[in-house]
């Protein structure tokens, strides 16, 4: 059920984006132990001048392949979050040729009452999920 949004510099091919989304989904499934069919992903592409992702003073430079991943989810443990960061970078490196320094992640936690999957219902609250 995590909702992932990806902000990246425009110019990737449809196949490159598919690989990125598939690799990211594998990381979600492994780290958060969600069902395979629990997949919610949105991609936003920006002209280069509209996406500025710096190093927070850590002393490295990012490339034009940088991706900012925002995850909205019900609470996850610190162990799950660390696992997700690690697995995500590994998946993106192995399947997309991305450098680990080009992957920035932010996880925002919310509660079961903050989700509706359609039909005007709160599936977590009414017992459907």
pLDDT along the chain (129 residues), means of 10: 96 98 98 97 98 95 97 97 98 98 98 96 95
Of the candidates 2, 35, 47, 75, the residue annotated as catalytic is 2
CA atoms of 104 and 96, how far apart (whole Å) = 15
pLDDT of residue 1: 84
Q: Strand runs (DSSP E) across 1-129, as ranges?
A: 3-9, 40-46, 67-73, 103-109
- Alpha-carbon torsion 72, 74, 75, 77, what sign? negative
pLDDT of residue 62: 97
2 is catalytic: yes
- DSSP-derived 3-state class of residue 68: strand
């Amino acid at each position: 059920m995590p909702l992932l949004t990806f902000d990246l510099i425009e110019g990737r091919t449809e196949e490159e984006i598919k690989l990125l989304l598939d690799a990211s989904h594998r990381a979600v499934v492994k780290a958060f132990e969600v069902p395979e069919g629990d997949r919610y992903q949105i991609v936003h592409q920006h002209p280069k001048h509209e996406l500025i992702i710096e190093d927070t003073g850590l002393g490295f430079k990012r490339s034009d392949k940088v991706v900012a991943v925002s995850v909205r989810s019900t609470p996850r443990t610190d162990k799950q979050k660390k696992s997700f960061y690690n697995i995500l970078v590994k998946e993106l490196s192995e399947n997309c040729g991305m450098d680990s320094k080009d992957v920035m992640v932010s996880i925002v936690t919310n509660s079961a009452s903050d989700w509706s999957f359609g039909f005007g219902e709160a599936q977590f609250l009414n017992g459907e999920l």
